Structure 1
Amino acid sequence: MPIIRMIDGINEVVGRIVSIVAIVFAGIIIYDVSMRYFLGEPTRWAFDLTKQLYGFYFIMLGGYALRHQSHVKVDLVTERMAPQLRRWVEVAGYLIFFFPFAWVFARRSLDFAITSYNQGEVTYGAVQLPVYPLKIAMFVAAVLLLIQGASEVLKLVLNTTTHLDSKEPMDVR
Structure 2
Amino acid sequence: MPIIRLIDGINEVVGRIVSVVAILFAGIIIYDVVMRYVFGDPTRWAFDVTKQLYGFYFIMLGGYALRHQAHVRVDLVTARLGSGARRLVEALGYLIFFFPFAVIFLRESWKFAMTSWRQGEVTYGAVSLPVYPLKLAMAAAAALLLIQGISEFLKLVLNRTNTPDPEEALDVR
TM-score by length of 2: 0.93
Q: Secondary structure at the match of 2:121?
A: coil
Distance, in Å, in 2 between the alignment partners of 1:80 and 1:48 is 47
Distance, in Å, in 2 between the alignment partners of 1:13 and 1:140 is 14
Percent sequence identity over aligned pairs: 77
- If asked which structure has higher relative contact order (CA below 8 Å, sep 6+), I would say 2
TM-superposition CA deviations, 1:63-98 (whole Å, max 9, x none) = 000000000101111011000110010000000000
Structure 1 runs of 4+ with >6 Å offset:
none
Counterpart of 1:138, as a letter, is M
The CA RMSD over aligned residues, in Å, is 0.8
Residue in 2 aligned with 1:129? 129
Distance, in Å, in 2 between the alignment partners of 1:77 and 1:136 is 36
Distance, in Å, in 1 between the alignment partners of 2:121 and 2:86 is 46
- Give unpaired runs (5+ residues) of structure 1: 164-173
Residue in 1 aligned with 2:40? 40
Residue in 2 aligned with 1:106? 106
Q: Secondary structure at the match of 1:128?
A: coil
Residue in 2 aligned with 1:77? 77
TM-superposition CA deviations, 1:25-82 (whole Å, max 9, x none) = 0000000010000001100100000000000000000000000000010111101100
Q: 1:161: how far off? A: 1.8
Q: Secondary structure at the match of 1:123?
A: coil
TM-score by length of 1: 0.93
Distance, in Å, in 1 between the alignment partners of 2:89 and 2:31 is 49
TM-superposition CA deviations, 1:137-162 (whole Å, max 9, x none) = 00000000000000000000001123
- Give unpaired runs (5+ residues) of structure 2: 164-173
2:88 aligned with 1:88: yes
Distance, in Å, in 2 between the alignment partners of 1:100 and 1:76 is 23
